[in-house]
Structure 1
Amino acid sequence: VMMDGTRSIEELQELFAPDNPEVIQSILKGLEDQALLDDATPFKVHSGIDTLLELEDFTNDLLQTTVEGNLFWKPITSSESELPITVLYGFGIEHYHLSCHRWNWDFPVLGCQNYRKVQQLINQLYSQEYGQDQLWLKALNGIGISDQDLNDAIALPETVAIGNALAYWANSEPLVLLSTLGVLKRQAYHHLSSYLAACERVNLESGFIDPIRELVNRNITGESENLIHRIFQDIGHVDQQTQQRLGDQIYLFIEMYNNFYRAIWNYYSSTSDLLRRVSAL
């Protein structure tokens, strides 16, 4: 009665095997092999890792056509461009704002997965990310921006938009959040390396550059990206509707990600005031 076609695979997994969802997949596969599934269409499993790999191809194409050639990254990666130092500092400021509010999306997703192994992998992922906000803070301290200064500062609207979106997905669409974190992890080493090279090219202070170099070295192993792959490997099936929703939300995220970097260039290239102070409003 419980498998009368009125419940989704995910519902059956939640009801009967929340800690081992693959059991339900095995039962359904066995029933299908014995021609005991009364379904007009063959049952087709679309695994979590298949879904993630498809999303990676999709996001790589989007990144190539948007972010890589935008106002910020084109001059950053060109050795011939003159870079406003304020833009390089602004990159650090906005990433600090983003990283120090990550608990808004970390804690909800830590409690939303019913699969024990997936939850353990998510815990490992966040333990690897711990302390990145302190490295950004150390870099900003190195150019004379104090903790008190940052407490009085507000992020650009585009930075806030990314943080709010990640927090929303953490509470309502954890697979979307994990997919977007996969995008960020894949880009972290590539983008941070280019950014570090630009900082070195214009001879920024060592007090600023050294913590950035540590961030680059943290991302060189790709351990966080591997963990995200392992998380998706332990998700037995992603239905067609969820696949479509993931693709739509990733598209939205890449738009926000592109706007984030464009906003850094637009604001910090035209100002000498690095901090948008609450006290000055």
Structure 2
Amino acid sequence: MSRIYVQKPKLREGCEVIYKNDYLIITYRGDQFELYPQEESSCDEIATLLNLLDGTKTIEELVTLNQAKGFMNTLKLIEVLDENCLLREGKKVEIKGKTGLEFIMDLEDLHRIWERSLGETTLSKLFYKGEAPLEMVIGWGFEYYHITKRAHDCITPAIAKAHGALREQMLEFFHEEYRHDKLLLKSLTSLGYSEQEIINSIPHAYTAAISNALAKWAHTDLLTFMAVLFIMEGTNLDGQEYMDTLALYDLPDDFIRYQGVHSDINIQGDHGNVTRDFFALVDYISPEEQLRVKKNILMFEQLRIRQEETFWESFQKEKNEIPRLLLNTNQAI
């Protein structure tokens, strides 16, 4: 079972529960989450639990209350709600700033708003429909490799700035992420490129900008670096959707296999929650620190969108050789 991050769970403000014949829907900030009764439970029992999530009861109290009524899936339901960012901590902390966990949950909400405001790029729409040109999918594999390689190199300076339990958590993350870029390197060599061609390839401008931002924050701003990881790592569902989509394209088995190994390690290591794990160890974040991190995360999201947009634009030009090497003088910039 995944870790539950709240002590007194409370449905986030704005959640609306819609009753259907044999399931329930929770709508939140434009997203919909369907809840189906499991085993001997019913929609009414799920609805009863949702009404109890008011931030005044501990998880243990909720389990006891529902067991007395014959509902045995309380922990599982709370886990699912928490994984989908539908819960927040009901326990009040009387400080001007926020705890790390309270702050990162606020940031999750903001990120959801920013994603909808910035919209989905043409590249993303076509890719997940299985309609992107194959050479574009391959080219994006090179950009993914470059960011993964740079992100790995950024963990070491971040470790140097961390202390105590946070440092131990960083070291564990480093060990799990160690040389993931080698997996993506093997994935690309299955397409017939040499390792030297891949290593010497030139990333697009906004890929380099993202890499440089990661490097800067790893050296100078540990809170921002930890926060940006929840965008970089994504959720388990994101990783599975990416792998399912790759299967739609005419790619070598080894290309998909090594991408899959990379994705499986992230899923098994629960890397989608690595940012929560980090911030759960932070006792206090001042209002000034919160503002700085929020501004940086918005900038990072804007960089990510521009990365996809400019990458798509580059493939509208006549010549766009893969890989991008200094010797390829006629390729799109």
Residue in 1 that maps onto 2:109: 57
Residue in 1 that maps onto 2:326: 278
Q: CA deviation at 1:104?
A: 4.1
Residue in 2 that maps onto 1:172: 220
**Aligned partner (choices 223, 235, 256) of residue 209 of structure 1:** 256
**Backbone CA RMSD of aligned residues:** 2.0
How far apart are the structure 1 equivalents of 2:112 and 2:145?
25
The answer to whether the aligner puts 1:139 opposite 2:190 as a matched pair is no
Within 5 Å, give how 1:4-83 maps onto structure 2.
Answer: 43-66=95-118, 69-79=120-130, 82-83=131-132
Q: CA deviation at 1:60?
A: 1.9
Residue in 1 that maps onto 2:234: 186
Q: CA deviation at 1:191?
A: 4.2
What secondary structure is seen at the aligned counterpart in 2 of 1:124?
helix
Return the letter of the residue paired with 1:229. Answer: R
How far apart are the structure 2 equivalents of 1:223 and 1:229?
11
How far apart are the structure 1 equivalents of 2:314 and 2:149?
21
**Aligned partner (choices 97, 100, 104) of residue 146 of structure 2:** 97
Return the letter of the residue paired with 1:46. Answer: K
How far apart are the structure 1 equivalents of 2:273 and 2:123?
28
Change (3 A) 1:274 1:190: farther
1:139 and 1:208 in contact (8 A); partners too: yes
2:229 and 2:274 in contact (8 A); partners too: no
Residue in 1 that maps onto 2:134: 85
2:188 and 2:198 in contact (8 A); partners too: no
**Aligned partner (choices 205, 209, 214) of residue 157 of structure 1:** 205
Return the letter of the residue paired with 1:155. Answer: P
2:217 and 2:224 in contact (8 A); partners too: yes
Change (3 A) 1:269 1:219: farther
How far apart are the structure 1 equivalents of 2:95 and 2:178?
41
More helix as a share of residues: 1
Q: CA deviation at 1:218?
A: 2.1
Deviations 1:55-109 (A, max 9, x none): 1111122223335x21111112225xx3200111011101111122234422211
Change (3 A) 1:43 1:49: closer
Deviations 1:112-166 (A, max 9, x none): 12x3111111111121111310111011000001111123311111110000001
Aligned positions, number: 235
How far apart are the structure 2 equivalents of 1:120 and 1:91?
33
1:137 and 1:147 in contact (8 A); partners too: yes
1:96 and 1:137 in contact (8 A); partners too: yes
**Aligned partner (choices 309, 313, 323) of residue 266 of structure 1:** 313
Return the letter of the residue paired with 1:76. Answer: F
Return the letter of the residue paired with 2:206. Answer: E
Residue in 1 that maps onto 2:171: 123
Q: CA deviation at 1:269?
A: 5.5
What secondary structure is seen at the aligned counterpart in 1 of 2:161?
coil
How far apart are the structure 1 equivalents of 2:110 and 2:157?
27
Which is worse superposed, 194-203 or 94-103?
194-203
1:110 and 1:122 in contact (8 A); partners too: yes
How far apart are the structure 2 equivalents of 1:43 and 1:110?
28
**Aligned partner (choices 232, 235, 238) of residue 279 of structure 2:** 232
Return the letter of the residue paired with 2:274. Answer: L
1:86 and 1:272 in contact (8 A); partners too: no
What secondary structure is seen at the aligned counterpart in 2 of 1:237?
coil
More strand as a share of residues: 2
Unaligned runs of 5+ residues in structure 1 are: 1-41
Question: What TM-score, normalized by structure 2, do the two folds share?
Answer: 0.65
Return the letter of the residue paired with 1:78. Answer: K
Structure 1 residue runs of 4 or more that deviate by more than 6 Å after TM superposition = none
**Aligned partner (choices 291, 314, 330) of residue 244 of structure 1:** 291
What secondary structure is seen at the aligned counterpart in 2 of 1:102?
helix
